[in-house]
Amino acid sequence: MWTVRKGRRSAVCELWTDPCGWELRLTIGGALLEPQVCPVQDDMLAIHEAWKAAMIDKDWRWAQTRGTSEHKALAPATQGRWSAACNSPASHGGACYASSTSMP
């Protein structure tokens, strides 16, 4: 979705589909820092914007945009289906939660 740079380091925010909705992944130098799963698109967009603003506030500089800037065409791969682990979008109260992705 976006990349910011600070000196020779770069931080990348990526959007992945997840059986429960959307997964945002923040990596710095290839190390996964902040995986978050969001069943609701608006929550995912809010977290993505908050992460970007926090990085800019810490003197990271805008590098590039990935994907659409308006986010209109985004749709999770689940297309309304939920895995047994999720049961339903409401199983997590509709809120984002930490992914089960192992941290480095």
Task: Identify the residue with better confidence: 33 or 88.
Answer: 33
Q: Write the burial class of residue 26 (CB in 10 Å: 0-12 exposed, 13-18 middle, 19+ buried).
A: buried
Domain segments of the chain as ranges: 2-66+83-98
Tens digits of residue pLDDT in 70-80: 343 344 443 33
Tens digits of residue pLDDT in 5-52: 999 999 999 999 989 899 999 999 889 987 899 999 999 999 989 999
pTM over 0.75: no
Could you give the CA distance from residue 101 to residue 68 in angstroms, rounded to a whole number?
25
